[in-house]
Chains A and B, each alone.
Chain A
């Protein structure tokens, strides 16, 4: 203490010392902390700072295209505007205002936007999809208002456009925004939270092929995550490969025209028509009506539109060719016939007596014409589709042997077609019924099974595939939608070979007999004037009852026709009945039509196939007959 200080201060000097010590303490503490952060942990924080501004950014690969077998492009990648949001960049206080403004601009509900943001809540730094396919003027407004819309980004991204729309919608399917479920399934494959993924059709089954490999680049970003510059590309994006389908758009269109004509004429809710090359298993046409516009999904379908599609009659979103269980009806007589011949229950010379009905106990099992056809061999039994004829064969075979032959033809198993959602069907056996209902199959049910009724139910693709195997002489092939994988420059990367499911264990003459019997179906005019076409057609009709009896005790029914056309289909004078033609195994066209709940005077499916063949072979004749398509719950074959 110096003498110069006021006496008052001298008294207070300990307090000044304490205060000075506090200053020293504060400064020392701050200095020590500074030392710890900067000198001791400086390297660690320098690393954090680098990571802060260097971000790895995925580079999307252009998705592969899809072509039909003639090279027509079935899908386009078009640049569209997508509105996305990074929840982490959207302050909570501004969130309601941002959501409300977006809802107004995009004309979608605030609830949908909130849901989209919340879905991404676990990954607040990732972009979440708000809307895709946004009109340019709206996108520009959102960009201009970016100061009022923090965390919202407008991004140009490719979107699928399907120029053929509903014509091939069930085959192509569509892409859509990944869902949390998708991510859980494929997350390890580098999918982004705002990614798109194939949802249906070949877009889904060939997702890995089409998607390509995303690249990675290192960018420098500022605190808002906005890219300042590209530092380097760690891994370039590899474009996806393209698909060449076995589908021929011309055949597809002919098939759709034929089916649509009959459906409109009758007033049907749903129907299926398919064409396949029996030599390769390639599906040439697959039409399930009603269809839908897959562009709606590619653009991001609204909840209302989606609900409308779910509620629409005929279930347009379902590919009835592969996802429905339906009774095959008399088309299934192929199994009983071929199985009976192979097991020696009958030969092609055996005559069976057909009657009005067969009795088991007090129950009568009627033939469809209610009077029987008298004595018939296999050709006429199949040709007339006599029920009592096949009751007898089925009875001899028994349910398990019948099921054995059914499963040889591929019934009750997924064909493995390269489309999602295929069902296996139901092929009844004793074991199956025991496990399900704890009782064996009754003899009457064996009869039912022999004519494709009762428990038997399969997706239409199995019926077509069985007839394709009949047509090619016994090779059961996997139906294929995609025949080639093409590289980005159109080079063939992979040729998808026909895949044999099994060689059917039938003698060649058994199958030849059944092909001739199928020709007999046509020549004895069971299919009316189909025989008058200038080409040779063989096949089998079916009338499959289902559902609940009406007031007159009648059941509604579906119509089937499954058959094939020999390679050189034109009728020859040397072979007036086409028997030689169908004896061959060179058919390149198997065809199936299925009219759901048809209830027509005649077999509607036959008419559909007839019209399709007229269109496909560009025939000069038009043998369509309107009376066949009258609604008249007749009791069919």
Chain B
């Protein structure tokens, strides 16, 4: 067993005090503050989701009024998309690990980074105010003219999303500059960990797409407040134009959500297979390819909207091409494991969940990209299931994998592996129960956003609701053991997984200034063949050279 150590002087307690935390410019603290905020939002969004599933347990409308139900699914969607998934991996985990992984002392603009967190919190408060003052009932997509005519608080929710956009842009801007300018000596673009490639591609989308959403939401607010008529059919405006504007952001936003997830998976697969990633350049460039092609496919949300057949054809064609790079990634991850030395610790189990669920999510995207089949499946539960498999089965599973991977780095302490396996299993089973049923509901014709439904759909809906409870239980258990680990976990040591990227070269938790000695990139991020497993490395926390295998938990 290892003689792992806990770094007594670290970023968590130096400098001490609440004020030092609230005014911190340290990317690690800002990452942790983001983590707390997004986890709270995940709970809130999850809570609304269980209420939605509760109403859908029976065909009749029974637990909630029609309007209440409509507000619940809107809040679930808006919170999960804008307050949870979009900031989750980049702003929370990315903020923590990005500078560490490239050997920098901080992000390029620490003040902007802190501002981004406060803007996020402001956006969250405006969002919560909006919920209290007559929660919005438009669906998270805010389609006009419904959103310009309903008498719920659309303006404040739109304002919240507008504000959150700035937070997202600032994070993206910071990452782009940091990656370009602050890499450690020797770290060329092709020696960067794939996590950085993924975050970089994500940052590009955040910076390029979010401004368009911002201006769209401003127009929506002006429409509601002053009736400027741009989207109002009664005044010569076009409601479909809103859909174009909205999806021009919101489709790339899907890649803001999934690319960082893929980035984490690349790290985990390499580390837990103790093997160089297969096809490094293909995995790296496929992130950029997804980011770029992702801007050209927004019209596939609108195949039935009455846009021209020509547009639909072009968007369908391009949609298939954005799927290919995702496929390439999956194949490369699987190939990486071939003849590896695979350790099935908790993070790797989440990799399995990701591969299992994201593959389904990706493949069901082909159904929706095919024009004639989409006509049948559009706006049914098939779509709901598809994006939950991608967003939750993909991004959230990767986020959980990342949390379990970097938890010992963030807090310096290890969680309980037994409970980690239990929680992983519950989530995997609960997730499939909840959402696989929804594919069947969708292909059989059940439309989305219904609080009551035909009796024939009850068995599947009931099964799905029960699944959501198992899923919820899995996450509750996870919350308990992860928080327990922060206080009572055994010290993790600098490098519990035997990772080769820079964040494992510093103590756990890392010191305020990240590295005691500035790291230099001499080999690639996953060169397990060149850096022998038996070789030693410098454990800064222990203050001495230690053999690698000593800190690898076998």
Query: Does chain A bind chain B?
Result: no
Residues of A participating in the B interface, judged by any CB pair closer than 8 Å: none
